[in-house]
Structure 1
Amino acid sequence: MKGNRHPKADIEAALKRAERAGLKVTRDQNGHRWGFVICCSCNREKLVWSTPASAGMEARRIDEFTRKHSNCA
């Protein structure tokens, strides 16, 4: 594994926003999977692909997950 950064800039920015919102970002590369965004409060996770068909769409999905789970308590 090379570093902890995602190779797509849009996705890396979304992952940083998720971390700032209090979610856990874990790199666990296996095949096309890059890792996960995890909400520790409700124990839900969002799979993050390393080679998505659309980096912009994957970033929007991460942002949507972040919005839904940033208020979990």
Structure 2
Amino acid sequence: MISSGRHPKKAIAEAIKHAREQGLIVIERHGGHRWGVIVCMRCKGRFSVWCTPRVPENDAAKIHRFCARHRECS
């Protein structure tokens, strides 16, 4: 099932929204189990977002950590 810009897991969808607010680029590109990628345009850092994580809250926390590490970049 292809979504229209929103991740199917609520915790991850909120983390992606936070990443967008921080100025990071979110590219929704489905391939296998990957939902998309979060990219820091200044340092070219990338974080893959998976569609079917075992524990969505853990992946959401990883997205928040990625945002915190790249806060100064954006």
Residue identity matched to 1:39? C
TM-score, normalised with respect to structure 2: 0.94
State the 1:2 CA deviation: 2.6
Partner secondary structure for residue 6 of structure 2: coil
TM-score, normalised with respect to structure 1: 0.96
Residue identity matched to 1:34? W
Matching of residues 10-21 of structure 1 within 5 Å: 10-21=11-22
Partner secondary structure for residue 46 of structure 1: strand
Aligned sequence identity (%): 37
The equivalent residue for 1:3 is 4
Mapped partners of 2:43, 2:9: distance in 1: 28
Q: How many residues align?
A: 73
Residue identity matched to 1:5? R
Residue identity matched to 1:20? E
Partner secondary structure for residue 29 of structure 1: strand
Runs of 4+ residues deviating >3 angstroms: none
Unaligned runs of 5+ in 1: none
Q: CA RMSD in A?
A: 0.9
State the 1:21 CA deviation: 0.4
Partner secondary structure for residue 15 of structure 1: helix
State the 1:43 CA deviation: 0.4
Partner secondary structure for residue 53 of structure 2: coil
